[in-house]
Amino acid sequence: MFCVSSWCKFLSLVLLVAVLAACGDLTDDLLPDSDDKRAAVSAGTTGYMPGQLAADFTVSTSNETSFQLADHLSAGSAPADVVVLYFTMWCPICLAHSDHLYNVVIPQFAGRGTVVYGLVDYVSGSVSASRASELANGYAGSEFVTLVDSEHVLMDQFNGAMGTVVVIDADGTILMNEGYRNGAALIDILEQQLP
């Protein structure tokens, strides 16, 4: 037997959920926006957006050494053509990305200039814990430099999150700051930047 009042309750519940979900930013998913809303940036300014200069930073590595960005810029003691930073929390997605970096990207550009591949560990909280995660996931002795971001210096500086990849050229200009996705954008940039 069809029950009008109960059916109305069901519809009301559906509508209530829709109204609740329509509050605030949730409409971003219910009604996705395809407009390009990236803010224009001025060359030479410091920030986290592509086109801006990356501020210098110093963090520890999992090997108990110090890593300073300036050392790897053109005027530094160990200059690189580009510095690649990947934000990891040692999760399934993170490992899928860093394995792709390790097995596909790094071999593809081996011998073409100098690239620093940094894994930014923003969850382990200490050098020893970061080293343990690095070992547990098979990166001991790899090309990766694991940067221990215990104080979230890099996370805050680059507005990083799980899976964020940041590429900085030898002049300190940020070329890329977005999700790793399948690595295609990173490969495209390295193709352009490396000799």
Contact set for other proteins, span 134-173 (CB under 8 A): 136-137, 150-152, 155, 159-164
Q: Which is nearer to other proteins, 9 or 112 (CB)?
A: 9
Is 194 among the residues that bind other proteins (CB under 8 A)?
no
Count of Cβ atoms closer than 10 Å to residue 170 Cβ: 18
Q: Which is nearer to other proteins, 76 or 142 (CB)?
A: 142
CA distance 38 to 51: 12
Is 177 among the residues that bind other proteins (CB under 8 A)?
yes
* # residues near other proteins by CB under 8 A: 74
Pick one of 41, 53, 106, 132: the residue that binds other proteins (CB under 8 A): 132
Phi/psi for 88 (5° steps) reads: -120, 150
CA distance 186 to 105: 9
Is 40 among the residues that bind other proteins (CB under 8 A)?
no
Q: Which is nearer to other proteins, 95 or 114 (CB)?
A: 95
CA distance 112 to 132: 31
Is 175 among the residues that bind other proteins (CB under 8 A)?
yes
Phi/psi for 12 (5° steps) reads: -65, -40
Q: Residues 63 to 122: which contact other proteins by CB under 8 A? A: 89-97, 99-100, 122
Minimum CB separation of residue 78 from other proteins in Å reads 26
DSSP state, residue 31: S
CA distance 105 to 75: 26
